[in-house]
Structure 1
Amino acid sequence: MAAKPGSGAGEWARHWQYAELPDLDLLRARYVRHTFPRHSHEGYVFGTISRGVEDVGLPGGTVHAGPGTVVMINPEVPHTARAGVPEGWVYATLYPSAQVINDIAADTTSLRGTVGFSETSVVDPYAARLIGEVHRAAEEGNALAADTVLRVMVTRLLSRYGSALPAPAPRSAGARDAARARAVLEGRMAAPPTLEALAAELGTSPFALLRAFKKHYGMPPHAWLTDARVRAARRMLDAGTAPAQAAAEVGFTDQPHLNRHFTRIVGVPPGAYQRERARTYKTGPELPT
């Protein structure tokens, strides 16, 4: 049964994984007052709106996505999302891993290396329909159709809007400090240092580190850490860890603290997320439309 985020009347969401396509997450939802804070994903995002408007905040500006639009976000690109109209938005989103997309690119296109999308929002009703068909096939337990339509959809988007991502430029001193700070925060997630202590450890100043981190990761260290904690909690929930234990191990004060940030970033509460991940096929009634 769909989880209700509880941030607005009429909101519902299902965030799940189809066992036959383990490197793909699916989210179908209606949000009205729910807002996604700045965060990023390890893999790609392909979303399409069936009703309403979603405002997606990206480094290049805000995308106003309505019906027939496909939003494409590359890995690790920070973004936000909120309703663009009072009635909110209804959408279906696919979150394939980087490996899935790059394998499809190698099999069906001439693109090589790490691929990405130069466009963040395109009006492509056919691709939008394919995203919905992947959801329907997965919900019906039709693995052959889900896998086939996913590949057709990704190939279409890659052939029209894809390109090989440029090789990373040599790291400046600021970039090296940002990367070192990220490694420290990853290693001390449950008990991170203050910005001042972190800067002193790296031999720089707090404001220099803050500027460098925001430049290279699109958000300040504390926001990045919250996102990283939620990612870590997701992996633990996938492995069967209880939400309260996951909260403690990744550094949240308690389970309500995890619940608040997890729901804001993932779109569903951790308990609902974990229950859906435990399923191997669709059960329960149809989601609203």
Structure 2
Amino acid sequence: MPRKAAVSSDWVMRAAPSEGVERIEAWFRDKAYAMHRHDTYAIGRTLAGVQRFNYRRSQRDSLPGNTMVLHPDELHDGQAGTSEGFRYRMIYVEPAHFQDVLGGRALPFIEGGVTTDPRLAAATESLLQHVGYTFEPLEQSDALAELAHALADVAGISRLPEKGDYLAARRARDYLHANCTRVVTLDEVEAETGRDRWSLSNDFRTFYGTSPYRYLTMRRLDIVRRMLLTGASLATAATDAGFADQSHMTRHFLKTFGLTPGRWLRIARGMNAP
């Protein structure tokens, strides 16, 4: 469970660290942090207010919806840009995670520390969920791989030629298909395929056009739709298909089909009516 630490009217909520990734959500009325530096990437999104910080000898303002990317070992501070205060979410990612994905290429550097690039907005969406959300192992691994590639693309770092292992990707696909209604660990998939998680993620995208976790989620949604058409409740369909709960399922359903499960079911039944 996230911990909420109050400092007068300011607060910070922290999720339990997971696989070298830390996540926080915070609100500050005025001064937040003095000049400091991390040995990780600090990547976040401003949710409300003006988030002001000094970075690489210049003052930066991040507005709601902006993505912040602070490079490891770069000095920065933090404070509100207006009297209303500011709210934000941030993840701290060890550079080794990105390096495992990028395979020896230079670490991406995003000039200015604040960006409106839609590629980074999309790539950070999953990782910057509320700190109370618990990631499945495959889900976090896929999200980190997507973020690493997006950072490299925005920074102008060329991609290496794709060299995939088709047999490993096929074994992973078969394994995920057979086990889609439960949490699948990274160790399981690595043992099943003989490939490390980052190489396998690239294999899967090369040969199946999507990530392992996305494939797993789609198979769960297939089950949900079948169950709904046979009269199962939303809650039962969600848990039987392997989702954490109904809201977890609904979020993925809406993102995938553009409809809530209830509306989809009404339309599907209407189409099937005589």
For the structure 1 residues 141 and 122, does the alpha-carbon distance in structure 2 shift closer, same or farther, using more than 3 Å as the test?
closer
Deviation of the 1:141 alpha carbon: 3.5
Instruction: Tell me what 1:44 maps to.
Output: 41
Partners of 1:137 and 1:31 in 2: how far apart? 17
Partners of 2:46 and 2:130 in 1: how far apart? 18
1:64 aligned counterpart, secondary structure = strand
For the structure 1 residues 102 and 117, does the alpha-carbon distance in structure 2 shift closer, same or farther, using more than 3 Å as the test?
farther
Residue identity matched to 2:124:
I
| Preserved contact between residue 135 and residue 146 of structure 1 (Cα < 8 Å) | no
Partners of 1:5 and 1:82 in 2: how far apart? 17
Deviation of the 1:130 alpha carbon: 4.0
| Preserved contact between residue 45 and residue 128 of structure 2 (Cα < 8 Å) | no
Q: Give the TM-score of the pair, scaled to structure 2.
A: 0.51
* 1:90 maps to 2:84: no
Quick one: which of 50, 55, 64 aligns to 1:53?
Answer: 50
Instruction: Tell me what 2:210 maps to.
Output: none
Instruction: Tell me what 2:117 maps to.
Output: 124
Instruction: Tell me what 1:161 maps to.
Output: 155
Quick one: which of 20, 23, 46 aligns to 1:23?
Answer: 20
For the structure 1 residues 47 and 137, does the alpha-carbon distance in structure 2 shift closer, same or farther, using more than 3 Å as the test?
closer
Deviation of the 1:17 alpha carbon: 3.6
Instruction: Tell me what 2:105 maps to.
Output: 112
1:144 aligned counterpart, secondary structure = helix
Deviation of the 1:135 alpha carbon: 3.9
Partners of 1:80 and 1:162 in 2: how far apart? 27
Deviation of the 1:78 alpha carbon: 0.5
Q: Deviations over 1:118-137 (max 9, x none)?
A: 34211135533543421438
| Preserved contact between residue 68 and residue 125 of structure 1 (Cα < 8 Å) | no
Partners of 2:130 and 2:27 in 1: how far apart? 20
Deviation of the 1:163 alpha carbon: 4.9
Instruction: Tell me what 1:72 maps to.
Output: 69
Instruction: Tell me what 1:133 maps to.
Output: 126
Quick one: which of 152, 162, 185 aligns to 2:146?
Answer: 152
Pairwise CA RMSD: 2.7
Residue identity matched to 2:102:
A
| Preserved contact between residue 118 and residue 163 of structure 1 (Cα < 8 Å) | no
Q: Deviations over 1:35-61 (max 9, x none)?
A: 200000011111111211100111230
Instruction: Tell me what 2:11 maps to.
Output: 12
Rg: which structure is higher? Answer: 2
Partners of 2:121 and 2:82 in 1: how far apart? 20
Partners of 1:88 and 1:104 in 2: how far apart? 37
Partners of 2:129 and 2:108 in 1: how far apart? 27
1:134 aligned counterpart, secondary structure = coil
Partners of 2:156 and 2:37 in 1: how far apart? 19
Aligned-residue sequence identity (percent) comes to 18
Aligned residues: 157
For the structure 1 residues 125 and 86, does the alpha-carbon distance in structure 2 shift closer, same or farther, using more than 3 Å as the test?
farther
Q: Give the TM-score of the pair, scaled to structure 1.
A: 0.48
1:86 aligned counterpart, secondary structure = coil
Partners of 2:128 and 2:71 in 1: how far apart? 20
2:6 aligned counterpart, secondary structure = coil
Residue identity matched to 1:4:
A
Residue identity matched to 1:90:
R
**Higher relative contact order (Cα pairs below 8 Å, separated by 6+ residues):** 1
Partners of 1:146 and 1:114 in 2: how far apart? 20
Partners of 2:48 and 2:72 in 1: how far apart? 26
1:5 aligned counterpart, secondary structure = strand
Partners of 2:156 and 2:73 in 1: how far apart? 17
Deviation of the 1:29 alpha carbon: 1.4
For the structure 1 residues 15 and 36, does the alpha-carbon distance in structure 2 shift closer, same or farther, using more than 3 Å as the test?
same
1:41 aligned counterpart, secondary structure = coil
| Preserved contact between residue 2 and residue 12 of structure 1 (Cα < 8 Å) | no
2:153 aligned counterpart, secondary structure = helix
